[in-house]
Structure 1
Amino acid sequence: MLAIKRLQFTTIRHNPETILADTLVLGVYEGRHLTEPAQRVDRLVQRKLSAFLADRAFEGRMGQMMSFMGFPGLKAQEILIIGLGVRDKWNRAQFRKAQSTAMEYSARTGSRTIINTLTAITEGDIPAAWRIRHAVEATYQAIYRFTECLGKNSKKSHAPRLERVHFVLTDIKISDADARSAIASGSAIAQGVFLCRNLANLPPNIATPRFLAAEARKLVQSDPRFKLKVLTERELKRGGLNALMAVSQGSHEPPRLIVLEYRGPRCSPGNPIALIGKGITFDSGGISIKPAAAMDEMKFDMCGAASVLGTLKTVSELKLPLHIVGVVAAAENMPGGGAVKPADIVQTLSGQTVEILNTDAEGRLVLCDAMTYTQNHYQPQVIIDAATLTGACVVALGHHPSGLFANNDTLAQELEHAGKEALDPVWRLPLWDEYQDSLKSNFADFANVGGRDAGAITAACFLWRFVSRVPWAHLDIAGTAWKSGNEKGATGRPVPLLAQYLMTRAGRNS
């Protein structure tokens, strides 16, 4: 399994100033209004903190930050002041942003031990367990470094030094058991996000369909609750998964259908929850080839698959009492003498025929066979697929929410709620029969693309044709799964969303 660093988290109920640490994190609202923990420190150092802030015109605006050496009477070597913005506007998103600012600075400057008082802030009616969990997630996010492809010396220099974080819970009404549970939840989600990011950040000459199958096998080795089935090229052909096979025709890398089944402790008998991920390990576009600019980012076209494996990692860490089947449809989409061509027609596993008008609309082809296979073999109670499916979704929603399509209002609402809890939001788009007309074909049952209009919706409509009478949701994560530019890399979304959904299903909210 790809290396994932684990941190130590503890809670402090009294006298954080007596704890040896590299950094003590304090919060200040706009107008230099000190939080309660900061006020206690200020009293301890005879108001030197408030005077120091006034001298340096620190106003406490959101994102503002200042650090200085600690005062006599404090065991911390450094004081880090984080601006929290307007007190009346303090909310969950502001909390997470402040946590990220503090942890990113501390990780960047090499702190090994941190005392974090932001978890003791009571404004905003934010549950204590939620604060602790998201503080853990923000800490892990701050130390993430992709070092798998660096040389030994470079890897060592990039390794984060952070080892321990103490969360201050002075006067916070939460039991030690609930605090430990929140830490465990945040750590488990972070481990899933790390795995997702590492898989997606790997170069496509390493992260092939066969590599994804090997990583799934390592999950099985780490937890006997998993059971793995991998369909090879021969088995896919014999099984009639022709749409998946068509996508991989131009590549020397053979496709795989990876089926990872999890049965948690004390899980009730019944049909599983199905998570299905698009795993195009590199998408050149095929014969409908993409422009050269930014084509390197098409290694991220397997982020849906990575998120399924990452979510199952989280589920395993939490030992959720659920029955889940994760299915990854993995292939490369390359041009070549044997590549699928525009106007080719394939018969999918469902028996429906598809005219392939655009070979760059390949994600829906591998997904449709994966969805049919899952329904035929596992009769799931719910299906959720995650895919970097369309650029049209990025045009519609940008990079903040993932696109959500669903044939069931209850499932859609559950995912919307999970997104809000996890700060991994979705925005529901319509899934109406009227859009199906765009997929008409004169030569097959339907085409794999419609016109230019409503591309994200018609892609979802295509997938809908392969869903029987089962609640189904499609997450188009093309705008949220990775970042470009100086911050280029996978984000790990939608692992937090999917993990929160499954935690809620299991009756675990923190």
Structure 2
Amino acid sequence: MSRFWFALAFFVCLAALWPSDARAQRTLAFDAHQVPEGGAIAIAVAEGLPAGGSFDAIDARTGGALRRAAEADGFRGKADSRLDLRGFGGYERLLVLGTGAAGPQSPRQLEDIGGRVAQAFGKHRTPRVDLVWDGDEAGAASHLAFGAAIGQYRFDKYRSKPDEDAPADAAPGTLAIRTREGAAAGSAYRAQWQPVAEAVAFARDLSTEPGNALWPEEFVERVRTAARGLPLTLEVLDVTAMRRLDMGGILAVGQGSVRPPRLLLVRYAGGAAGEAPLAFVGKGITFDSGGISIKPNTNMWQMKGDMTGAATVVSTVLALAGRQAPVNAVAVAALAENMPSGSASRPGDVVRTASGKTFEIMSTDAEGRMVLTDALWYVQRQDRPKLVVDVATLTGAVVTALGGDYAGLFSRDDALAAQLLAAGEASGEALWRLPLRDEYGKRLESPIADLRNGGGSPGAGIGAYFIGEWVDRALPWAHLDIAGADWNDSADPTVPEGASAFGVRLLDRFVRDHHE
């Protein structure tokens, strides 16, 4: 055995023995609506501190001390404000969150409240925290719990020492959701929202893993493990199968790496037999150096997350299967590592894809659209889907245009675009529709091939147009460019700093609201 293969075998064995990711997350529990007389609790109040509810109950219990404390602190219940009291009125800790204008909270607002509470108590040394919610919104407990679950996500797998500020106890404790729905709310959460929370965590795990721990074959194995016990079928195409199908797009990207590419399909049949599935196709570049068109060193480390599109679509189908959604769906992960080497593709090379269509490589760093050509062709041929949505960290241009606040949406189908925009608004993973003009095709003309893989501006629109050339014009199709939205530089209530798993909540909501 050569030194290289021995070292690789050793690393694989070491990775298998590596301790599992300890996220220090609190267990979620559900209980009756009641304000405990002590311990650590969180409540919410509308702007103006209106009379009634848990706030008044605690204020009365403390002889008016809570309102006096709020006055002294200038707390009036404005949205996103908080009053954090330690050792107050018999409570170990009392957290009062402001919700803004009085009235029912939307599911998205409830999720933010749950996330804010989970993050606030993430390092608090107490075995139990009670979140008391006075509202009577349908499903409030599930949304509070869902927000708490995804908001308290942590990735500590590779830390040699635990966080010094974290609780010393091995068990992180419990967060009890107290609503008028009572303990019965737990069943609804576990059936409908826990699978989505777990899918978000799985996608974040994949996107956070370094390139030396996650490569195409390893991605497949992680998904295979996550799919155990779920009503899913997996299909994996290796290099031999891809060559047989003339998948020149994905092979051209992967040929510069010692780690071979893979095409992974995850199928879920929860709908009517024979009904055309929803197809979600994801870019899965497990590390993107740019290839021969190599990227600058600055922030290249972030290219370990260039497979977030694949992580998103696979995790979405895991969530659909976990909650037994009444739909048929297929996720396609186009997996490759884009590296420079003597065997790598070159600018100027002409690539023939499985569809027969050819393109000339202008930049090997425009690799995401290259792998998607064959993935899109294959799922259309094999599954005859009713629609296709592809998800990719595709361009820096969309980051320049939208920052991290929105992902770019491109589509030739107005109805599909409207559904995705609505799902983005409802889920908190916002989209902004950008133009997709036929004139972009002229900028991709090649003198020696059917088209080029890039050229000209707008860069995000040009990339979307190229991808769309491999989708049947009669098929509803949308492209989501999630570059920028895939990574949070600072935490928000439901997305801690780091990988966001952008798109899992969006696509789940898209399916719930428009296809169930």
Corresponding residue for residue 169 of structure 1: 179
Corresponding residue for residue 253 of structure 2: 247
Percentage of identical aligned residues: 33
Q: Kindly report which structure 2 residues correspond to 1:348-497, keeping only aligned pairs within 5 A, or say none.
A: 348-451=353-456, 453-468=457-472, 469-484=474-489, 489-497=498-506
Corresponding residue for residue 191 of structure 1: 198
Cα gap change, 1:175/1:53 in structure 2, threshold over 3 Å: closer, same or farther?
closer
Alpha-carbon separation, structure 1, partners of 2:261 and 2:51: 58
SS of 1:341's equivalent in the other structure is coil
Corresponding residue for residue 128 of structure 1: 138
Query: What letter corresponds to residue 245 of structure 2 in structure 1?
Result: G
Mapped contact 2:359–2:452 kept (Cα < 8 A): yes
1:44 positional shift: 3.3
Corresponding residue for residue 131 of structure 2: 116
1:93 positional shift: 5.7
Mapped contact 1:42–1:50 kept (Cα < 8 A): yes
Mapped contact 1:107–1:160 kept (Cα < 8 A): no
Partner of residue 23 from structure 1, selected from 16, 29, 40? 40
Mapped contact 1:132–1:183 kept (Cα < 8 A): no
Q: TM-score, normalised by structure 2?
A: 0.87
Cα gap change, 1:23/1:185 in structure 2, threshold over 3 Å: closer, same or farther?
farther
Q: Structure 2: which 5+ residue stretches go unaligned?
A: 1-15
Cα gap change, 1:401/1:35 in structure 2, threshold over 3 Å: closer, same or farther?
farther
Cα gap change, 1:84/1:178 in structure 2, threshold over 3 Å: closer, same or farther?
closer
Alpha-carbon separation, structure 2, partners of 1:381 and 1:155: 51
Mapped contact 1:401–1:427 kept (Cα < 8 A): yes
SS of 1:107's equivalent in the other structure is coil
Q: Structure 1: which 5+ residue stretches go unaligned?
A: none
**Structure 1 range deviating more: 144-153 or 326-335:** 144-153
1:196 positional shift: 0.2
Mapped contact 1:141–1:190 kept (Cα < 8 A): yes
Alpha-carbon separation, structure 2, partners of 1:335 and 1:378: 34
1:43 aligns with 2:60: yes
Cα gap change, 1:342/1:58 in structure 2, threshold over 3 Å: closer, same or farther?
same
Alpha-carbon separation, structure 2, partners of 1:377 and 1:235: 14
SS of 2:154's equivalent in the other structure is coil
1:473 positional shift: 1.2
Alpha-carbon separation, structure 2, partners of 1:85 and 1:23: 23
1:220 positional shift: 3.5
Alpha-carbon separation, structure 2, partners of 1:70 and 1:356: 65
**Structure 1 range deviating more: 409-418 or 361-370:** 409-418
SS of 1:234's equivalent in the other structure is helix
Alpha-carbon separation, structure 1, partners of 2:129 and 2:439: 56
1:257 aligns with 2:271: no
Mapped contact 2:393–2:481 kept (Cα < 8 A): yes
Mapped contact 1:289–1:335 kept (Cα < 8 A): yes
Query: What letter corresponds to residue 409 of structure 1 in structure 2?
Result: D
1:380 positional shift: 0.9
Query: What letter corresponds to residue 471 of structure 2 in structure 1?
Result: V
1:17 positional shift: 2.4
SS of 2:375's equivalent in the other structure is helix
Corresponding residue for residue 12 of structure 1: 32
SS of 1:79's equivalent in the other structure is strand
Partner of residue 224 from structure 2, selected from 204, 217, 220? 217
Alpha-carbon separation, structure 2, partners of 1:333 and 1:461: 22
Q: What is the number of residues matched between the two proteins?
A: 490
1:150 aligns with 2:159: yes
Query: What letter corresponds to residue 27 of structure 1 in structure 2?
Result: A
Corresponding residue for residue 502 of structure 1: 511
Partner of residue 239 from structure 2, selected from 233, 242, 247? 233
1:201 positional shift: 0.4
1:63 aligns with 2:80: yes
Corresponding residue for residue 141 of structure 1: 150
Mapped contact 2:31–2:176 kept (Cα < 8 A): yes
Mapped contact 1:110–1:161 kept (Cα < 8 A): no
Q: Kindly report which structure 2 residues correspond to 1:220-369, keeping only aligned pairs within 5 A, or say none.
A: 220-223=227-230, 225-264=231-270, 267-369=272-374
1:360 positional shift: 0.5
Alpha-carbon separation, structure 2, partners of 1:411 and 1:334: 36
1:358 positional shift: 0.8
1:37 positional shift: 2.4
Mapped contact 2:29–2:175 kept (Cα < 8 A): yes
Query: What letter corresponds to residue 166 of structure 1 in structure 2?
Result: A
Mapped contact 2:407–2:430 kept (Cα < 8 A): yes
1:69 positional shift: 4.0
1:188 positional shift: 1.9
RMSD (Å) for aligned C-alpha atoms: 2.8
Query: What letter corresponds to residue 499 of structure 1 in structure 2?
Result: D
Mapped contact 2:386–2:476 kept (Cα < 8 A): yes
Cα gap change, 1:26/1:177 in structure 2, threshold over 3 Å: closer, same or farther?
closer
SS of 1:216's equivalent in the other structure is helix
Alpha-carbon separation, structure 2, partners of 1:413 and 1:482: 25
Q: TM-score, normalised by structure 1?
A: 0.88
Alpha-carbon separation, structure 1, partners of 2:247 and 2:264: 13
Corresponding residue for residue 100 of structure 1: 115
Mapped contact 2:265–2:331 kept (Cα < 8 A): yes
SS of 2:146's equivalent in the other structure is helix
1:11 positional shift: 3.6
Alpha-carbon separation, structure 1, partners of 2:352 and 2:102: 60
Cα gap change, 1:288/1:485 in structure 2, threshold over 3 Å: closer, same or farther?
farther
Cα gap change, 1:501/1:81 in structure 2, threshold over 3 Å: closer, same or farther?
same
Mapped contact 1:27–1:34 kept (Cα < 8 A): no
Partner of residue 211 from structure 2, selected from 204, 212, 230? 204
Mapped contact 1:110–1:160 kept (Cα < 8 A): no
Mapped contact 1:460–1:474 kept (Cα < 8 A): yes
Corresponding residue for residue 10 of structure 2: none
1:59 positional shift: 3.5
Alpha-carbon separation, structure 1, partners of 2:304 and 2:396: 15
Mapped contact 2:26–2:174 kept (Cα < 8 A): no
Query: What letter corresponds to residue 462 of structure 2 in structure 1?
Result: T
